């Protein structure tokens, strides 16, 4: 099921962009080359999936053959490690290319952390870092660490914000994302937090 297309279309519209849906690109080099070439006519190209390390993750190689300069590929983030970013530049213009992971939670988190700030800046709003606030955990939380992590959660009570971690299976757990209205921001270091501990959250 293509959940990422509607998700990213809505996210682009919410930040003031005009999305152009190129449809689903199959795992075929010729079809990907055609669709990506069309997408590179825009100011920003968002791709979802095909950027990991599997045999059918053909996006990085296709972008390279078209001439898109790779800026970085893979980051220390959970969810969202496979993120790819590059630029196609000419004398007259440039296109920013974001290769988002295919799993929906990863795709959304990478949009919030990387694509949304870029679109805001392109729209003339200037660069602004992530707008975080603090909330108290409704229960204990064990964080294994290893990578910076953005956990789906729900917060309530604006006067004294309380945040409850949403049960989350993995980066494909779209139901957890649909139940969330914020992301709890956790560091790369392991943590054992008690109920009532104050944590940073990113509203979504």
Alpha helix stretches (DSSP H) within the chain: 4-14, 29-39, 59-66, 104-110, 116-122, 174-178
pLDDT band at residue 178 under the 50/70/90 scheme: very high
The pTM of the full predicted model, rounded to 2 decimals, is 0.93
Residue linked to tokens 């937090």: 193
Cα atoms in the 13 Å half-sphere on the side-chain side of 98: 25
What is the mean predicted confidence (pLDDT) over 168-184?
Answer: 93
Give the pLDDT band (50/70/90) at residue 194.
very high
Q: Is the pLDDT of residue 200 over 90?
A: yes
The structure tokens 């990478």 sit at 110
Query: Which tens digits make up the pLDDT trace of 70-90?
Result: 999 999 999 999 999 999 998
């Amino acid at each position: 099921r293509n959940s990422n297309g509607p998700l990213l279309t809505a996210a682009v519209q919410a930040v003031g962009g005009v999305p152009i849906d190129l449809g689903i690109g199959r795992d075929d080099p010729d079809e990907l080359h055609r669709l990506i070439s069309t997408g590179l006519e825009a100011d920003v190209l968002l791709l979802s999936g095909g950027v990991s390390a599997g045999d059918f993750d053909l996006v990085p190689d296709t972008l390279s053959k078209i001439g898109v300069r790779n800026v970085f590929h893979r980051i220390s983030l959970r969810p969202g490690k496979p993120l790819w970013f590059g630029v196609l530049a000419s004398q007259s213009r440039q296109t920013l290319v974001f290769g988002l992971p295919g799993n929906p939670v990863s795709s959304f988190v990478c949009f919030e952390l990387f694509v949304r700030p870029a679109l805001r800046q392109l729209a003339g709003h200037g660069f602004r870092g992530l707008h975080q606030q603090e909330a108290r955990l409704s229960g204990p939380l064990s964080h294994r660490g290893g990578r910076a992590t953005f956990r789906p959660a729900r917060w309530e009570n604006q006067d004294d914000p309380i945040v409850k971690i949403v049960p989350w299976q993995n980066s494909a757990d779209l139901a957890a994302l649909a139940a969330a209205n914020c992301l709890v921001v956790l560091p790369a270091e392991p943590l054992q937090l008690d109920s009532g501990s104050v944590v940073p959250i990113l509203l979504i």
